[in-house]
Chain A
Amino acid sequence: MSVAAQGVGAEKARFDPARALKEAGLAAFVAFMLFLPMMGFRLVGAEGRLGLEYRPQWVVIGVVTVFFGHLLVSFLRAMRGAPVRPAGRVGPVARYVNTHAKWFALAGIALAFALPFTPFANRYVVDVATTVLIYVMLGWGLNIVVGLAGLLDLGYVAFYAVGAYSYALFAQWFGLGFWEALPIAGVLAATFGILLGFPVLRLRGDYLAIVTLGFGEIIRIILLNWYPVTRGPDGLSGIPRPTFFGLVFTRRPAEGEVAFHQFFEISYSGLHRVIFLYYLILLLALLTNWFVLRIRRLPVGRAWEALREDEIASKALGINPTNTKLTAFALGAMFGGFAGSFFATRQGFISPESFTFIESATILAIVVLGGMGSQIGVVLAAAVIVILPELGREFEQFRMLLFGAAMVGIMVWRPRGLLASREPTIRLHARSAGERSP
């Protein structure tokens, strides 16, 4: 048995003890450098002073674990052959989800609509679900730019900020309500999208990423320093809440206003507004999704994908790259702006703190983790990214460590994202050969 297993293993990749030892030694060295400051010392407060506690045994345990763990991994890898899936191949789960995409989507939407009325729904659950949906919407919006048009955008949060601040400012200065401000926020964000688009038309890949990163920072710094308008780091507060066809969600509505609970003659509950916000973002997100699915089948959507695949070939086929890229930036930004307005009305308070680079990185991570261009993948990834740190709350300071490890794990095992495959936008039935399965 073991002889046979070794024979098979030897065919794929020989286990080379010397090399494995060397690599394990290197890994142990890296672990040592990391663990020495992180695990070797500990700050303790004793008698009102801070002191250092030395814990060499922790470092030894960590380094030894890494060394033998690495040896074991290389041994197992040699036994089984290379675990890497050939590029372009889609895993069985992804294939199953994709062939039944419609059912998964319908089930997901039904579940999302039913969520606030399920027995385990409380304020916390609905709040987390709302956050997930904000990220789903942002992910779908960024998917237009990154997933479809293939333009790496590290400053997407700028449009989120533009949307949030335009609603907050229009509400403050002109007394506009959420529904009136929403289209304006979208248009403003799209305008900023085009503004960003023009200088970066000629850039691709890394260079594009750097410029978009800079753009995101510029917007944040303007928000931070333009005190008379944005009130800088103090932020804008008292942003009006959205209304349900004119009904407000307060216990005692002001003169001339009718509250939701009065109109429907139910007793007041703070949960009403939370649930209403949840449905609001659910509808906005579904609108985004519907729009993206439709536009992929239109000439401009196909042009985005062609441009992502091969810019020179696209030009040679009569695609105008300037207009195509600008529409991608503008439409992606517009949905970012919508999501921003929603964020502002949900929080009631915004400040530049909420629009830092880490937000851009998170949204991009959602798109990449989900599998570039995959709509369902974005939902899964947003759920993972928002819920995982929530689940990890018990682990306190190790929470973000676990989160990081999980992200690394996903990218190692699923390098092309959770659901990496794209659905063709056009199908014809074969004329003679009969039905053929996809």
Chain B
Amino acid sequence: MLELRQVHTHYGRIEALKGITLDVRKGEIVTIIGANGAGKTTLLMTICGNPRASAGRILFEGEDITRLPTYEIVRRGISQAPEGRRIFPRMTVLENLQMGAVPNGERYFAEDVEKVFSLFPRLEERMHQRGGTLSGGEQQMLCIGRALMARPKMLLLDEPSLGLAPMLVQQIFRSIVEINRTQGLTILLVEQNAYQALRIAHRGYVLATGSVVMEGEGRELLASPEIRAAYLEGGH
């Protein structure tokens, strides 16, 4: 569904991605793990065209999207729940969800809001509250919910567990699996929390200083001694 072929990205003269090749197939959960500064977030942002890849090709459903502007890529069906959530703090929960529905306009709004509320009942309780007043976990739910409002074919999640209590992390990951199973939505998940991410992922890629250093099935990576040593030591 999504293919990256030798993708390079530069920030000025610094090369953040050094030729990434990866595939995400329809209906999969694929995770990208790696340490701070490995280029995980850059990879997701490059898929969305912000910044653009300086070399290589990105194909989505066979179409080359490498040079498209961000909003066109979103309209093709790739939705991102960005790092740090980036919800609109002065807008209410409902307005945030409405912003997520921009590519579809009003057509499916009522129906989709129901879907998001049944996935995250907390959001329904808070629908008229301003985004900035939500707790971290609720903001993450809102961020994922907002991305779902675009009716994406593929969801990019950037560190949904960031700064959340372990209980909440569990809950968010359960929701991710639920979205994938019930709606058949393809998910590309970037995580620092390698253990949780690999447990729910079908496949995973390990990123280090802008290159893919390992790839394999989720369970396989979880069992591999290198991964255990590098990313899983010191508890989960």
Contact = CB atoms under 8 A, between A and B. Distances in A.
A318 B74 contact: yes
Interface stretch (A126-134, A212-220, A308-316, A363-371): A308-316
Interface string A288-313: 00000000000100110110011011
Looking at B75, B80, B102, B127, which has the most chain A CB atoms within 10 Å of its CB? B102
A22 interface: no
Contact of B102 (A299, A312, A422, A433): A299
A316 B48 contact: yes
A425 B95 CA distance: 7
B80 to A, nearest CB: 5
Interface stretch (B2-10, B84-92, B172-180): B84-92
B98 interface: yes
A269 interface: no
A202 interface: no
Given A426-B98, A428-B94, A318 B125 contact: no
A302 B95 contact: yes
A433 B117 CA distance: 13
B97 to A, nearest CB: 9
A430 interface: yes
A424 B93 CA distance: 10
A424 B91 contact: yes
Contacts of B99: 302-303, 306, 314, 317, 319
Contact of A424 (B69, B94, B146, B150): B94
A438 interface: yes
B28 interface: no
Q: For the side of the interface on A, what is the size category?
A: 20 to 34
Interface string B59-85: 000000000011100110001101000
Contact of B88 (A88, A310, A320): A310
A303 B74 CA distance: 15
Contact of A320 (B71, B132, B147): B71
Contact of B90 (A309, A313, A314, A321): A309
Contact of B94 (A303, A312, A317, A427): A427
B102 A303 contact: yes
Q: For the side of the interface on B, what is the size category?
A: 35 or more
B51 to A, nearest CB: 11
B158 to A, nearest CB: 10
A436 interface: yes
A306 B74 contact: no
Interface in A401-438: 422, 424-428, 430-431, 433, 436, 438
A318 B95 contact: no
Interface string B117-150: 0000000110110001100000000000011001
A307 B76 CA distance: 21
A310 B100 CA distance: 13
Contacts of B90: 305, 309, 422
Contacts of A312: 50, 82, 86
A430 B69 CA distance: 38
Given A310-B86, A426-B94, A317 B150 contact: yes
Contacts of A309: 88-91
B124 A313 contact: no
Contacts of A319: 71, 99, 102
Contacts of A426: 92, 94-95, 98
B147 to A, nearest CB: 8
A148 B14 CA distance: 36
Contact of B75 (A305, A318, A428): A318
Given A302-B95, A424-B91, A317 B127 contact: no
B146 A317 contact: yes
Contacts of B103: 317-318
Contacts of B133: 88
Interface of A: 88, 299, 302-303, 305-306, 309-310, 312-321, 422, 424-428, 430-431, 433, 436, 438
Given A309-B89, A318-B71, A430-B124, 14 more contacts: A88-B133, A305-B90, A306-B88, A306-B91, A309-B91, A312-B50, A313-B88, A315-B50, A317-B150, A318-B103, A319-B71, A321-B71, A424-B91, A436-B128
10 contacts: A305-B88, A306-B99, A309-B91, A315-B50, A317-B100, A318-B71, A319-B102, A320-B71, A426-B92, A428-B127
